[in-house]
Structure 1
Amino acid sequence: MAHEHTHHHHHHDYAKANADHFSEQASNYRTELSIEIAKRCAAHILKKYPFDSNKTELLDFACGPGLIAFELLPNVKRIVGADSAPGMVEVFNRTVTEQGLSTEKIHCVEIGALKGDESDLDGALFDVIICVQSYHHFEDPIQITKAFAQRLKPNGRLIVIDFADAGNIETFFEKVHEHKHEHEHIVAHKHGFTYERMIEIFKAGNLQNPQVEEAFKMPKSEMKTYQAHERMAKVMECDFDFTFHYFIAYADKA
């Protein structure tokens, strides 16, 4: 019994540490590097679904400040962003206002976790759900995949971009969070994911036809050509080398 209680408590701390950390990062998230990565991710996402600007309704889960969402906007009818960090939600919605866009077309809501029932997002269903660079933060990727499956329309598609288990990624996470000793709270899957693991997660999460392929690579040498936020810049000055291997994985609602 005590064990269950601790686990629950840990889960809460974990989610809160994540939200606090990313709220702190929100205001300096829009850098040359993050914009470049967002553009590449958006280009890959657009190839993986027949987007229709008159029809496609998209959920961007763990959307951050919306860099990818705003890239995709011309190709969809409507986007709902969702993020657990209040700072990110605020930056996202401020951008909507600044760009003179209607909140019917695009807005962001603050969501800590999905329950996996009709209470999620008021029962709204989507043609596409995207989740970029966030699966490695989730303690239970299968549970969240099941919750996503419930928010998809029939034949709807989940598209995930994240880090492959390659290229010294664990060392990178340790370096980026070492000053605060916080990486255990923030990065659940420090190795990234193998392609086989993503396929297992999708199948266990009630989705079908799972596919995984390499999206793009981003070596440290290339990252250094873009201006980045302060902590990232520090890590890029470290003496170890790393390359991010991004995969794109997708699967469909039965």
Structure 2
Amino acid sequence: MAGEKRDFDAESATWDENPGRVKMAHEVARAILGAIKPGPATDVLDFGCGTGLLSLALQPHVRTITTVDSSQGMLDVLDKKIKAQGLKNVRTRRVDLEQGNKLTGTFDLAVSSMTFHHIRDTGMLLDRIAGVLRPAGRIAVADLDSDEGKFHDSNEGVFHSGFDRHTMMKLFEAAGFVSVRNRTAAIMQKPGPDGVMRTFTVFLMTGEKEA
């Protein structure tokens, strides 16, 4: 597993040109809306937001979304979308936990899609997210089921070859989340690094911070 950090800034300009990536973000958004049912009083944190594909799909259904990413390039792309669409309830914030930045604010719902496998210490991240959720706040994390390292063309910056759902559930519970549930949020086909077409599944795991 590669330990180097991936240069997401360099990929930001063409990030949305991948139709599979866009389709998956919308499928994850539908799964979150179905599982959580956020509403007009819901303040959301999107951790690892990238260019905001998930955030902008959720935006019409919630009060505010604070988007967080370590890549300024990704956030710059999202800022342009926010300006072009005249959105008033989405704001961007650069946070790099590995550089010692802190998660701040108070939220009803934290979401994250396809980010956790890029995080070295996922238990630490869950603790940090729990720390900014209101009592009875919800969390919804979408990521790959165990993929044997076949999903990415390059495993640079990838610390986990997907996740075992039972193991992830235990991490949620260790961070203080209850009523932990999971479902399959998306199914996608793509060629692996060897060119062989494979099917990958993305789970959505949800939980609630104890009141």
Same fold (TM over 0.5): yes
Equivalences for residues 163-202 of structure 1 within 5 A: 163-166=144-147, 169-173=148-152, 176-177=153-154, 183=155, 185-190=156-161, 192-202=162-172
* CA displacement at 1:239 relative to structure 2: 3.4
Could you say what secondary structure the match of 1:72 adopts?
helix
Deviations, residues 184-221 of structure 1 (Å, cap 9, x unaligned): x500002x11111111110111211211222221123x
Equivalent residue, structure 2, for 1:80: 66
**Cross-structure match for 1:129:** 110
2:173 to 199, 203, 210: 203
Q: Distance in 2 between matches of 1:246 and 1:99?
A: 29
> Per the alignment, do residues 154 and 116 of structure 1 end up closer, same or farther by CA in structure 2, a change over 3 Å counting?
farther
Larger radius of gyration: 1
Q: Distance in 2 between matches of 1:239 and 1:71?
A: 31
Q: Does the CA contact (< 8 Å) of 1:157 and 1:253 recur in 2?
A: yes
The number of aligned residues is: 207
Deviation at 1:149, TM superposition (A): 0.4
Task: Map 1:54-69; keep pairs closer than 5 Å.
Answer: 55-69=41-55
The DSSP-based 3-state class of the residue aligned with 1:186 is coil
Question: Secondary structure of the residue that 1:39 maps to in structure 2?
Answer: helix
Cα deviation 1:64-111 (Å, max 9, x = unaligned): 000111111110000000000010011111111111122xx1111100
Determine whether 1:110 maps to 2:97. Answer: no
SS of the aligned residue for 2:44 comes to: strand
Deviation at 1:120, TM superposition (A): 2.5
1:128–1:114 distance in 2 versus 1, CA, 3 Å: farther
Taking only the aligned residue pairs, the percentage that are identical comes to: 26
Aligned counterparts of 2:195 and 2:67: Cα–Cα separation in 1 = 37
| Contact kept in structure 2, 1:130 and 1:158, CA below 8 Å | yes
Q: Give yes or no for the alignment of 1:120 onto 2:103.
A: yes
* Equivalent-residue separation in structure 2 for 1:165 and 1:236 (angstroms): 14
Residue in 2 aligned with 1:6?
Answer: none
Q: Which residue of 1 aligns with 2:195?
A: 239
8 Å contact 2:38–2:62 — kept in the other structure? yes
In structure 2, the CA distance between the partners of 1:114 and 1:126, relative to structure 1 (3 Å rule), is farther
Corresponding residue SS for 1:139: coil
CA RMSD of aligned residues (A): 2.1
The whole-number CA distance in structure 1 between the counterparts of 2:194 and 2:99 is 40
Between Structure 1 and Structure 2, which shows a larger proportion of strand residues? Answer: 2
Match of 2:22 in 1: 35
Q: Which has the higher helix share?
A: 1
Provide the rounded CA distance (Å) in 2 between the counterparts of 1:172 and 1:198. 19
CA deviation profile, 1:136-173 (whole Å, cap 9, x unmatched)? 1111100100000011011110100000014xx41233
After superposition, give the CA deviation of every residue in 1:106-150 in whole Å (9 maximum; x if it has no partner): 111100018999x532xx111100010011111110010000001
Tell me the distance in 2 between the aligned counterparts of 1:203 and 1:86.
Answer: 32
TM-score (norm 2): 0.91
Q: TM-score, length-normalised on structure 1?
A: 0.76
Ranges in structure 1 where 5+ consecutive residues have no aligned partner: 1-12, 178-182, 221-234
